[in-house]
Amino acid sequence: MEGGWIREARSVPSPNYGPRPDACEPELLVIHNISLPPRCYGGDCIERFFTNDLDWDEHPYFAEIRGVEVSAHFLIQRTGALLQFVDCGERAWHAGQSSFEGRGNCNDFSIGIELEGTDDDPYTDAQYAALAALTKALISRYPGLSPARIVGHSDIAPGRKTDPGPAFDWSRYRQQLHERAST
């Protein structure tokens, strides 16, 4: 890791970020999912969405998100490819209205990881492997992070968000973290 950038990730800088509050280090990992258009995989629409380059007229669904400016720190594609949009030392715009352990504005103290997928489509083996490797790297870099401080978007925005959804296998992911940590 160089500064807040993971060397193994393809860097795709997003303009959608801001500074973290003074002396605020990442203390929470938030797992999300996204597919654009919904249930379509393998294209570059997510990348273009996070960099404000999406053609809003390209697909009817895009009218629903027209003008929205969001980002995450990372995207893990179905192939396991890792993209990074925002330096981990900066505040990405991924959590929205949110709260963790009574503390609001989770963007201030979290790192957002998007998985290319939906709530209901199983995630790929390559995604679980990449997510476990990324998580281990982030935990080793940021002392406030730990396996106990990993949540889904649904956990910090209940009733508003459902991702990563029932298709995400939390037990499998946590087992891979344990296996990687003990090797």
What six digits make up the tokens of 78? 């179905």
Residue 2: per-residue pLDDT: 80
Handedness of CA 118, 119, 120, 123 (dihedral sign): positive
Q: Hey, what's the torsion of the CAs at 83, 89, 92, 59, to 10 degrees?
A: -20
84-132: pLDDT as tens digits: 999 999 999 999 999 999 999 999 999 999 999 999 999 999 999 999 9
Rounded to 5°, the CA angle 97-102-105 comes to 30
**Full-model pTM:** 0.96
Provide the CATH topology of domain 10-182: Lysozyme-like (3.40.80)
133-162: pLDDT as tens digits: 999 999 999 999 999 999 999 999 999 999
Band of the pLDDT at 1, cuts 50, 70, 90? confident
Contact call for residues 51 and 15 (beta carbons, < 8 A): yes
For the chain, what are the domain ranges? 10-182
Catalytic sites, residue numbers: 114
Token pair 């950038």 is at which residue? 5
Per-residue H/E/C for 64-111? HCCCCCCCCCEEECCCCCEEECCCCCEEECCCCCCEECCEECHHHHEE
How many of the other CB atoms lie within 10 Å of CB of 177?
18
